[in-house]
Amino acid sequence: MTPKPESPLAAPLEVHDAPEPGDPRIGQISGHVREIIRILGLSPDRDPNLFDTDRRVAKMFLEIFSGLDEGTKPKLTTFPNDEHYTAMVMEKEIPFYSMCTHHFVPFYGHGHIAYIPNERIVGLSKLPRLLDFFARRPQLQERLTEQVASVLEEELKPLGVMVVIEARHLCVEMRGVRKPGSVTVTSAIRGIFMQKAVREEFLDLLRRRG
């Protein structure tokens, strides 16, 4: 039987599996984590709550940084724009989790991605997959925003792309300045979105929550 082509309303995000038990990086990372635990004055050998913590942390790092692994970049499935659709396509409130490259603590929030088609449209499931891929690595919010926009611009060649990311950074909330609840907003703008009227349409759609 010939498989059906993927619909633009394609399948949900794939689950990111934990690393293989035999992955040699688990032992390499866990040894360093165990040493950090000891330097902090804790006893991973006597405290039952710390048994295997070093290996759990190692596995966690390999899972949440899986975007660094070769071959994990999602393929952008595109389709001919046979309907000649030239209005905005927007997917908003896409949740993501990442790790601050400066302190290795989480930042998390929502991404809002829009483009105006040219000759091709993209499967909608690919937009959150793309955000997720670039989020799964030590990251800067500014770089994350630009990376998503650049890939869409390069591979889809639309009339324009706009990406806005809103995130809370635990490096701001739980340490240093300690300002809980603060939100950082970044944007990347390409093509026709440079025009004020098009940006205002994006922002109007973004304000329509729910």
Residue 119 located in a structural domain: yes
The pLDDT confidence band at residue 99, using thresholds 50, 70 and 90, is: very high
Of 41, 64, 87, the last residue of a domain is 64
Q: Is the pLDDT score of 17 beyond 80? A: no
Residue 18 located in a structural domain: no
- Report the alpha-carbon distance of residue 33 to residue 138 in Å, rounded: 17
Domain co-membership, 60 together with 132: no
Residue 30 located in a structural domain: yes
Domain co-membership, 32 together with 108: no
Q: Which pLDDT does position 210 carry in this prediction? A: 61
Mean pLDDT (the chain) is 92
Q: Is the pLDDT score of 89 beyond 50? A: yes
**CATH number of the domain that residue 128 is part of:** 3.30.1130.10
Q: Is the pLDDT score of 65 beyond 80? A: yes
Question: Beta strands 138-139 and 89-100: pairing type?
Answer: parallel
Q: Is the pLDDT score of 7 beyond 60? A: no
Domain co-membership, 195 together with 170: yes
Domain co-membership, 98 together with 54: no
**CATH number of the domain that residue 59 is part of:** 1.10.286
Q: Is the pLDDT score of 72 beyond 60? A: yes
Q: Is the pLDDT score of 10 beyond 50? A: no
Q: Is the pLDDT score of 8 beyond 50? A: no
- For residue range 123-164, what is the model confidence (pLDDT) as tens digits? 999 999 999 999 999 999 999 999 999 999 999 999 999 999
pTM score, whole prediction: 0.88
Of 64, 87, 121, the last residue of a domain is 64
The pLDDT confidence band at residue 44, using thresholds 50, 70 and 90, is: very high
Domain co-membership, 54 together with 146: no
Q: Which pLDDT does position 3 carry in this prediction? A: 42
The pLDDT confidence band at residue 18, using thresholds 50, 70 and 90, is: low
- Of 19-28, 127-136, 145-154, 175-184, minimum mean pLDDT range: 19-28
- Of 16-25, 78-87, 92-101, 149-158, minimum mean pLDDT range: 16-25
Q: What percent of the chain stands above pLDDT 90?
A: 87
Residue 14 located in a structural domain: no
Residue 11 located in a structural domain: no
Provide the domain count of the chain: 2
Name the amino acid, one letter, at 24. P
Domain co-membership, 91 together with 46: no
User: Among candidates 149, 144, 150, which has minimal Cα distance to 132?
Assistant: 144
Radius of gyration for the alpha carbons in the chain, expressed in angstroms and rounded: 20
Domain co-membership, 42 together with 123: no
Q: Which pLDDT does position 6 carry in this prediction? A: 44
Residue 58 located in a structural domain: yes
| 195 Cβ contact partners less than 8 Å away, ≥ 6 residues apart | none
Domain co-membership, 93 together with 127: yes
Q: Which pLDDT does position 203 carry in this prediction? A: 96
Residue 15 located in a structural domain: no
Question: Beta strands 120-122 and 106-116: pairing type?
Answer: unpaired
Beta bridge partners of 184: 167
Q: Is the pLDDT score of 51 beyond 90? A: yes
- Report the alpha-carbon distance of residue 54 to residue 183 in Å, rounded: 32
